[in-house]
Amino acid sequence: MFSILNEIEDTSTKSTTSVVTASVGTSASIYLLVAVTGYLTFGDHVVGNIVSQYIPSVSSTIGKAAIVVLVIFSYPLQVHPCRASLDAVLKWRPVSVSRSSSPVIGSPSRNSLLGHSGGAAARRTEMSETRFAALTTVIIVFSYIVAMTVSSLERVLAYVGSTGSTSISFILPGLFYYKISSPDSPLHQKLMKEDDDQDDYESDDDSGHLRAGSWVGKWKSRNYQRMMLRRASLGLAIYGACVMVTCLITNTYFIAGH
């Protein structure tokens, strides 16, 4: 996702949403088409690798070739964010609040959101060639070992779906929002900046005639919404963890045993 944001020309919310909607919608349509046609063809006897069930023909050969092309091009695309994520995890250090700049009286959005040493920070985030080669080698060797050890595509897809899909869809988004929406988080001011700017804009439109009671009511309502969203995000993460555990137990004791 971050790689896409770095490459597209228009990084606005509308453009980003359209890219995500188009990609996810296309993938979901293809998956749905394969799932429905496979079930209509084989019924309850369908297996994980549905292409292997079709008799040898031109159509099945094209499908197998498409899978080969998919693996060839998707592997480097998946290694790129995996390497960047591992590098970010290895470089991560807890942020010290005491190192922040001197407090400014007023709204948190008035504080600077960027550090004063942007050039030095950018140089520190660059990945060295040695680290690049080491991380790439580890990823390739580990994936090769998994590919040579596991022979069931159905089992691989089952465990990847149990862990990766639930983490990306439920657990990580909920935990991320719960973390950055904490009042003690240094990133909390970024979430408040847009609301503060909107309040300033509305105050300018009203030319100073906005009543104090109305402003206090909006402030309380907004804080209540933030609190409910924070609780909902934690609930989403807990729900995702329950789904992941349930899927892992099902895959381990039912699919593996079968």
Q: pLDDT at residue 230 above 80?
A: yes
Q: Is the pLDDT of residue 207 over 80?
A: no
Assigned token pair, 71 = 């693996």
- pLDDT per residue as tens digits for the range 116-146: 444 445 555 678 899 999 999 999 999 999 8
Q: Is the pLDDT of residue 114 over 80?
A: no
Question: In the numeric block, which tokens belong to residue 254?
Answer: 């039912």
Higher pLDDT, 1 or 198: 1
Q: For position 110, what pLDDT does the model report?
A: 39
Q: Is 182 helix (H, G, I), strand (E, B) or coil?
A: coil
CB 237 within 8 A of CB 166: no
pTM of the model: 0.61
Q: What is the pLDDT of residue 138?
A: 95
In angstroms, the CA 152 to CA 49 distance is 9
Helix, strand, coil in percent for the chain, rounding step 5:
80, 0, 20
- Return the structure tokens found at 225: 């919404």
Cα 206 → chain centroid = 40
Residue 181 zone, left/alpha/beta (φ > 0; ψ -120 to 50; rest): alpha
pLDDT of residue 103: 44
Tokens of 188: 């909390």
Please give the structure tokens belonging to residue 32: 């749905």
pLDDT at 111 over 80: no
| pLDDT at position 220 | 65
> Domain ranges in the chain?
1-53, 64-92+121-149, 153-258
pLDDT of residue 250 exceeding 80, the answer is yes
2-16, 70-84, 110-124: range with lowest mean pLDDT: 110-124
**Could you tell me the two tokens for 217?**
């009511």
d(C-alpha 193, C-alpha 111), whole Å = 10
Of residues 17, 42, 4, 31, the one with CA closest to residue 157:
31
What percent of the chain lies above the pLDDT cut of 70? 72
Biggest alpha carbon distance in the chain? 77
Residue written as tokens 């963890």?
A: 241
Q: Torsion angle, CA of 182/184/187/190, rounded to 10 degrees?
A: 80
Return the residue matching tokens 């040493």: 117
Phi, psi for 39 (deg, rounded to 5):
-70, -40
pLDDT-derived band of residue 222, with 50, 70 and 90 as boundaries?
Answer: confident
Q: What is the 3-state secondary structure (H, E, C) of 16-45?
A: HHHHHHHHHHHHHHHHHHHHHHHHHHHHHH
Name residue 210's amino acid.
L
Percent of the chain with pLDDT over 90: 23
Across the range 200-221, mean pLDDT stands at 56
